[in-house]
Amino acid sequence: MIKYPKIKRLSTLNIIHHQEFDYEFNSFRTDFVGEGGSGKSLISDLLQLIFVGTGAFHSPTQSADERLPKTMVLKTEGRGTDFGYAFLNIEVEENQFVVIGIYLESIGASQMFIIQNGNDFSEETKLIPFNKLIGVNDFIDKNKTLPIDQLKEHIFNTLEYTCASWSTTGKYHKILCNNENNIIPVDVSKNEKVLKNYSKIIQAFSRESLDISKSDKLKNFL
């Protein structure tokens, strides 16, 4: 029996190694393969960021420099502040989706965001899904990637969906964890300890501890 909610697609925009991609999640195979340095371990880091935010984030990936969220944004020569997105299409029922994600800036700022086919973003709300997957092209207007405030208007004008964002994770987590949505199965909004413990669970699927050649590892987690 298919269980919902589940991840349908991971999308990245202006993120290192994953400049502009929509990754479909297969129900039978969810392993990631590729050459060293191609960005495989970054996938688990992005999942961690989307679910817990930057405050509880820690990348267990071994590298010369600590991997911070702001360093994941693709740099543009001569530009002041660069920004990028990582977001998930969550299938809440068959062919019914909502989007959750994170907006990152190269100066260290970030916002969590949700896109739904409704406009109620109270903590107890049941998110209203849509029947079409959202991808990176929906975040681009006239070959220009839009910052979060402009994106909200663009999403409403082009798709007639509503995007809301928060600079802290409190309300974001309340919505995702409430009984109406249950997108995150653990109530990480309870306290910082629960949030960090959940973050450690996702960290376990990094390059160091996840055998990405075995498709059942990540699939069992999802």
pLDDT (tens digit per residue) in 139-165:
999 999 999 999 999 999 999 999 999
Write the CATH number of the domain with boundaries 6-215: 3.40.1140.10
Q: How far apart are CA 36 and CA 207, in angstroms?
A: 10
pLDDT greater than 90 at residue 215: no
- The H or E element that residue 20 is part of is strand 18-24
Going by their DSSP bridges, the two strands 144-145 and 162-166 should be labelled as: unpaired
CB 76 within 8 A of CB 68: no
CB 92 within 8 A of CB 114: no
DSSP code, position 185: S
Q: Once rounded to an integer, what is the mean pLDDT over residues 172-179?
A: 96
What is the pLDDT at residue 38? Answer: 44
DSSP code, position 7: E
Within the chain, residue ranges assigned H as helices are 40-52, 148-159, 170-177, 192-203, 215-221
Q: Which residues pair with 130 in a beta bridge?
A: 97
pTM of the model: 0.85
